[in-house]
Structure 1
Amino acid sequence: MVQLRIPPEQCIGRHIYKRGDGTLAYFYTTEELAGLAAAAGLEVMECEYVCVFNRNRKSGLELRRTFVHGVFRRPLHRPR
């Protein structure tokens, strides 16, 4: 939802956004994250989107968040 609320003028590139404090935010896709892990030599066990719903008790506002969740494993080194 954050990615959808960011004004277009703060979009620097594909999935790269400039925040109000001058820092940058990058929003990974599951494919990108799995590709980076595989390129680093990790075995991809899980890589998926996780949706979380939080409700602010005071205001009653429902906050919807989506995260990329990944589980990666280093390959075991076997002696020769």
Structure 2
Amino acid sequence: MRFKPENKIQDRFYKRADWTLAYYFHRNEVICLFEQAGFDVKSCLYYHTYTENRQMQMKVDRAFIQGIFIKK
């Protein structure tokens, strides 16, 4: 995780440096939220990639949840 311990508000809930908030969902949470809102879940998968900063010679892992949801 890129956040410092003092920026942790709760489990998976963090304060960014610009005072905005970040919450990290589990895949099952996303599925439940969309189903409760009246959507059919066609797919909901983790997507892993990395961002490379060549000047600083760093690679940063990134993970996303990508889904396809159809309104019932």
Confirm or deny a common fold (TM above 0.5): yes
Residue of structure 2 equivalent to 1:22:
19
From 24, 28, 32, the equivalent of 1:31 is: 28
RMSD: 1.3
Tell me the TM-score normalized by structure 2: 0.86
Which AA in structure 1 matches 2:28?
E
Partners in 2 of 1:54 and 1:13 — Cα distance? Answer: 27
Residue of structure 1 equivalent to 2:45:
48
Unpaired segments ≥5 residues, structure 1: 76-80
Residue of structure 2 equivalent to 1:69:
66
Q: Percent identity?
A: 35
